[in-house]
């Protein structure tokens, strides 16, 4: 769709950069903006996005842009919710953020029936659950029983969602839940592997043996159905193949390694033979059951099996052959030439195999041989060896050009030529900037080859390599000259923008890889750039403006008239907008009232220093309250759920703004159904206790970017406490 509406690509990128700029701006926690101004700006972003959505809704050509801006409005609400937690340092738990954000997204999904809302809802649902299980504010160590119950429940929940969505138009959402369900089951079973259950047998082992038995029965049932029917959706079959395969490989390898011990590398040939035998049987079975109606499905299945088994076979072969070579030739010069001889034998032997059922053996021998030849070259260490290897692989690429095997030798050719040039670079002690230019040249050469062979497998591989080289040339480039850094980043940006706007292939892999490259590029630069978040936000705002300008000057002329646009009523969305604004405004007002009227107390703490993606830098705090609660647990007094923490005033005081604030210490923990105690000497804070840890809602203190050093020596937290026990972290000071 986007390939036919290429004029919209600048608009999409403009929105992406706009949202990135907003996130970075608020995450920088700019100290020159006061609290009301920050909240007002975030609310204005929601209103402006919704207003633009309504305007575009009336457009004949660009009505689809109303859906995009409504989605931006929903994302802006999430950013605003995160900002409230950041601004007031109170109950900034990640799962609460995503839960609050999830509610309007679900409602918008049903109001509009717009697919991206359903995908965003699923993402927020997953983040809510997993952040609840593994919160960022406290560390939770689950017992074996608790962890088992959690992952079994997660498996069951996601399987129910999968089967509920399977026969609907949201089947693709179900695929994601199936992946999560398989992951949860695999995590649990591999953590309690068959070998571990036998070696550390206990009464609980019987339960896990039952789980393994059920999983193996399902595996056998799936395999029989897979071989004989293949009626399920290819994605479902691929997910099952992947996770069942990982289960079998992990448990088989673990048993094999533990049984053979130190001789595992020498006896690996037995395992390699087993992999080869299984591959021949499977590929022969698949070829015998291919039907005219499922050729595409069979082709994907064939590639999956060949790729997976060839990779496993290569790993086993390299490990076993390396150990065998070292055993025969020793660790001197002999092992080096042993790699050369055996590598050559493997390459020739692999090329001599012609049977289609032996494809895994053919590929494994060739990949193993190529790897051993590179071992020889790196052990030899001379530049001319790499050039000799490069000439060999160039020749092999030319000879095997029309065969699938050419992909291996083209990839090896790139590695050999790059190694030879880098070897010259290091020997000549050339400037480090040249490495980036080397990557640029390799990227341009592969890009040119892709433009020539765009419809061939070799062309697609060249495109993947060009992306890799261009990405490598931008990593760490800011350490060099500013002009070089800007130039190389612009080249990479122009390259993927060209492929987004003028795609050269209809291959799904090509399109997916292009978008994946854009996504990874932005995420990587978020963590790599040495600019401040504030500076990055301004840069992204400028880039966003330029993309919007490109759309209005060029893109509007190269887009199609909107067709089949989903119609949604603006009234329910407007009501939801008002409720969102009321929620943010009322929450901010509550926090301001607590800052104004709450009892100010001081608490002892110990800081850490991570970063939140949406909320920027923060200090994660561990109070003396946490230690006292854990001591209560160790003494056998278990209190969980909503609790009250009774704090008692001590004789110690700390100065703050011309007055002294008393330091309080925890003295008692009670259930929350008892009234909070508040008087001159005692204050009560609300908390939530679970699995041996307590969460007060004031464990995060957000700070302006790059000011961490300023807060390192702070050891007292000043907290405002309301009469009902709600707490808000005001600031940190040094005693």
Is the pLDDT at 477 greater than 50? The verdict is: yes
Rounded distance, CA 704 to CA 695, Å? 24
Confidence of residue 2 (pLDDT cuts 50, 70, 90): very low
Checking DSSP bridges between strand 641-656 and strand 616-623, what pairing results, if any?
Answer: unpaired
Is the model's pLDDT at 299 over the cut of 80? Answer: no
Q: Which two tokens stand for residue 644?
A: 């009250």
Q: How far apart are CA 97 and CA 93, in angstroms?
A: 6
Paired strand residues for 170: none
DSSP character string of 665-704: EEEEEEETTSPPP-SSSEEEEEEEEETTEEE-S--EEE--
Q: Does position 187 have pLDDT exceeding 90, yes or no?
A: yes
Stretch 217-222: mean pLDDT: 83
In whole angstroms, what is the distance from residue 284 CA to residue 488 CA?
Answer: 49
- What is the maximum alpha-carbon separation in the chain? 90
> Which range has the top average pLDDT, 71-80, 135-144, 318-327, 688-697?
71-80
CB 176 within 8 A of CB 234: no
pLDDT one-digit tens code per residue, 83-115: 887 777 765 567 888 999 999 999 999 988 889
pLDDT of amino acid 3: 43
- Predicted pLDDT of residue 279: 83
Angle between helical axes of 9-27 and 64-88 (0-180°, round to 10): 10
For 523, the token pair is 């995420």
pLDDT-derived band at 525 (thresholds 50, 70, 90) equals: low
∠ Cα 100 103 106 (to 5°) = 145
pLDDT at 15: 86
Neighbour count for residue 273 (Cβ, 10 Å)? 12
pLDDT tens digits for range 666-684 = 888 888 777 666 666 788 8
- For residue 599, give the nearest of 730, 721, 697, 696 by alpha carbon: 721
- Beta strand extents in 549-640 (DSSP E only): 599-607, 611-612, 616-623
| 8 A C-beta contact, residue 604 and residue 624 | yes
Q: For residue 615, what pLDDT band results from cuts at 50, 70 and 90?
A: very low
Q: Which residue has the higher pLDDT, 378 or 92?
A: 378
CA distance 683 to 647: 5
Give residue 613's pLDDT.
42
pLDDT tens-place string over residues 120-153: 999 999 999 998 888 876 677 788 888 999 999 9
Tokens 């008892």 found at: 674
- 345 has a pLDDT exceeding 90: yes
Greater confidence (262 vs 107) lies with: 107
- The band of 479, judged by pLDDT with boundaries at 50, 70 and 90, is low
CA separation for the pair 370, 409 (Å, rounded): 8
What is the structure's pLDDT at 1?
39
Distance from C-alpha of 189 to C-alpha of 183, rounded to nearest angstrom: 10
Does residue 610 register a pLDDT over 50?
no
pLDDT in tens, 386-416: 999 999 999 999 998 888 889 999 999 999 9
From the CB of residue 379, how many other CB atoms can be counted at a distance below 10 Å? 14
Residue 293 has pLDDT above 50, yes or no: no
As given in the structure block, the two tokens for residue 249 are: 């490989």
- When pLDDT is averaged across residues 499-504 and rounded to a whole number, the result is 83
Q: What is the pLDDT averaged over residues 452-481?
A: 84
Average pLDDT over residues 484-504: 83
Poorest-pLDDT segment among 122-131, 369-378, 551-560, 618-627: 551-560
- Burial bucket for residue 243 (CB in 10 Å: 0-12, 13-18, 19+): buried
> Does residue 531 have a pLDDT over 60?
no
Asked whether the predicted pLDDT for residue 612 surpasses 60, the reply is no
Whole-number Å distance between alpha carbons of 533 and 615: 11
The residues, any chain, with a CB within 8 Å of residue 201's CB and separated by 6 or more, are none
Return the pLDDT at 69.
92
DSSP helix/strand/coil, 720: strand
Mean pLDDT, rounded, for 583-608:
81
- Say whether pLDDT at 227 is over 80: no
Q: What pLDDT band is residue 297 in, cutting at 50, 70 and 90?
A: low
Do 128 and 81 touch, CB atoms closer than 8 A? no
For residue 112, what are its two tokens?
A: 């509009």
Q: What's the DSSP call for residue 644?
A: E
Ranking 353-357, 613-617, 622-626, 698-702 by mean pLDDT, the lowest is 613-617
Predicted confidence at residue 391, as pLDDT, reads 93
If pLDDT is split at 50, 70 and 90, which confidence band does 688 have?
A: confident
Mean pLDDT of all residues in 447-468: 90
Percent of the chain with pLDDT over 70: 84
Which residues, listed in sequence order, are joined to residue 670 by a DSSP beta bridge?
644
Non-local CB neighbours of 54 within 8 Å, separated by 6+ positions = 66, 570
CB atoms within 10 A of CB 174: 23
Give residue 658's pLDDT band: very low, low, confident or very high (50, 70, 90): confident
Rounded CA separation 80/585 (Å): 10
**pLDDT bracket for residue 418 (50, 70, 90):** very high
Phi, psi (degrees; rounded to nearest 5) at 42: -65, -40
Res. 210: pLDDT tops 80: yes
Q: What is the mean pLDDT of residues 350-355?
A: 89
Strand pairing category for 599-607 and 611-612: unpaired
Q: Write down the domain spans for the chain.
A: 265-380, 431-530, 598-733
* CA dihedral over 657, 659, 665, 669, signed as positive or negative: negative
Mean pLDDT estimate for the chain: 82
How far is residue 449's CA from residue 453's CA, in Å, rounded to a whole number? 6
DSSP class of residue 505 equals -
Whether the per-residue pLDDT at 292 is higher than 50: the answer is: no
Question: Poorest-confidence range of 15-29, 496-510, 530-544, 623-637?
Answer: 530-544
- Cα 713 to its chain centre, rounded Å, is 33
């Amino acid at each position: 769709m986007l390939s036919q509406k290429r004029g919209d690509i600048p608009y999409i990128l403009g929105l992406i950069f706009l949202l990135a700029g907003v996130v970075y701006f608020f995450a920088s926690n700019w100290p020159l903006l006061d609290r009301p101004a920050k909240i007002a700006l975030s609310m204005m972003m929601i209103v402006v996005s919704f207003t633009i959505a309504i305007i575009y809704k009336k457009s004949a050509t660009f009505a689809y842009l109303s859906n995009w801006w409504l989605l931006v409005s929903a994302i802006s609400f999430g950013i605003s919710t995160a900002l409230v937690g950041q601004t007031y340092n109170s109950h900034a738990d990640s799962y609460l953020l995503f839960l609050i954000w999830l509610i309007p997204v679900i409602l918008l999904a049903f109001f509009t029936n717009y697919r991206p809302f359903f995908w965003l809802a699923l993402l927020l649902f997953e983040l809510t659950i997993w952040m609840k299980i593994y919160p960022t504010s406290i560390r939770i160590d689950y017992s074996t029983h608790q962890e088992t119950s959690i992952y079994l429940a997660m498996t069951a929940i996601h399987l129910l969602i999968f089967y509920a969505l399977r026969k609907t138009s949201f089947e693709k959402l179900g695929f994601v839940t199936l992946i999560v369900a398989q992951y949860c089951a695999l995590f649990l079973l591999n953590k309690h592997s068959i070998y571990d259950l036998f070696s550390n047998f206990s009464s609980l082992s019987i339960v896990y043996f039952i789980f393994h038995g059920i999983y193996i029965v399902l595996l056998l049932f799936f395999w029989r159905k897979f071989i004989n029917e293949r009626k399920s959706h290819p994605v479902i079959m691929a997910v099952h193949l992947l996770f069942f395969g990982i289960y079998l490989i992990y448990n088989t390898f673990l048993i094999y390694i533990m049984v053979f011990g130190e001789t595992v590398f020498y006896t690996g040939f037995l395992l390699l033979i087993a992999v080869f035998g299984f591959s021949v049987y499977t590929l022969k079975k698949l070829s015998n059951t291919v039907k005219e109606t499922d050729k595409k499905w069979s082709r994907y299945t064939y590639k999956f099996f060949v790729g997976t088994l060839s990779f496993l076979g290569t790993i086993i072969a390299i490990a076993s052959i390396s150990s065998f070579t070292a055993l025969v030739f020793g660790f001197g010069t002999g092992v080096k030439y042993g790699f050369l001889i055996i590598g050559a034998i493997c390459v020739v032997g692999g090329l001599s195999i012609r049977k289609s059922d032996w494809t895994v053996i053919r590929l494994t021998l060739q990949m193993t041989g190529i790897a051993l030849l590179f071992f020889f070259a790196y052990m030899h260490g001379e530049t001319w060896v790499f050039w000799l290897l490069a000439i060999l692989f160039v020749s092999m690429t030319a000879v095997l050009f029309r065969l699938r095997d050419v992909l291996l030798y083209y990839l090896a050719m790139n590695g050999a030529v790059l190694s030879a040039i880098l070897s010259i670079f290091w020997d000549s002690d050339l400037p480090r900037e040249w490495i980036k230019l080397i990557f640029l040249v390799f990227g341009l050469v592969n890009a040119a080859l892709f433009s020539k062979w765009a419809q061939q497998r070799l062309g697609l591989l060249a495109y993947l390599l060009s992306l890799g080289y261009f990405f490598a040339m931008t990593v760490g480039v800011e350490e060099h000259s500013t002009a070089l850094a800007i130039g190389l980043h612009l080249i990479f940006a122009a390259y993927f923008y060209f492929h987004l706007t003028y795609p050269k292939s209809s291959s799904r892999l090509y399109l997916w890889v292009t978008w994946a490259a854009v996504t990874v590029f932005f995420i990587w630069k978020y963590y790599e750039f040495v600019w401040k978040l504030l500076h990055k936000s301004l840069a992204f705002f400028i880039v966003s403006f330029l993309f919007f300008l490109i759309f209005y000057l060029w893109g509007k002329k190269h887009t199609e008239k909107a067709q089949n646009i989903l119609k949604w009523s603006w009234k329910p969305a407007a009501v939801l907008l008002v409720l969102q604004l009321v929620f943010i405004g009322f929450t901010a007002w509550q926090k301001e009232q607590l800052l104004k009227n709450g009892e100010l107390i001081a608490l002892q703490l110990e800081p850490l220093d991570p970063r939140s993606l949406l909320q920027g830098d923060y200090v994660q705090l561990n109070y003396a309250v946490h230690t006292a609660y854990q001591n209560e647990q160790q003494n056998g007094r278990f209190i969980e759920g909503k609790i009250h923490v009774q704090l008692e005033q001590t004789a110690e005081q700390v100065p703050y703004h011309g007055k002294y604030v008393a330091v309080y210490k925890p003295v008692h923990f009670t259930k929350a159904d008892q009234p909070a105690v508040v008087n001159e000497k005692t204050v009560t804070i609300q908390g939530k206790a679970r699995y041996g840890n307590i969460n007060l809602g004031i464990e995060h203190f957000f700070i302006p970017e790059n000011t961490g050093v300023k807060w390192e020596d702070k050891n007292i937290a000043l907290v405002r406490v309301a009469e009902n026990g709600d707490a808000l972290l005001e600031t940190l000071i040094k005693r």
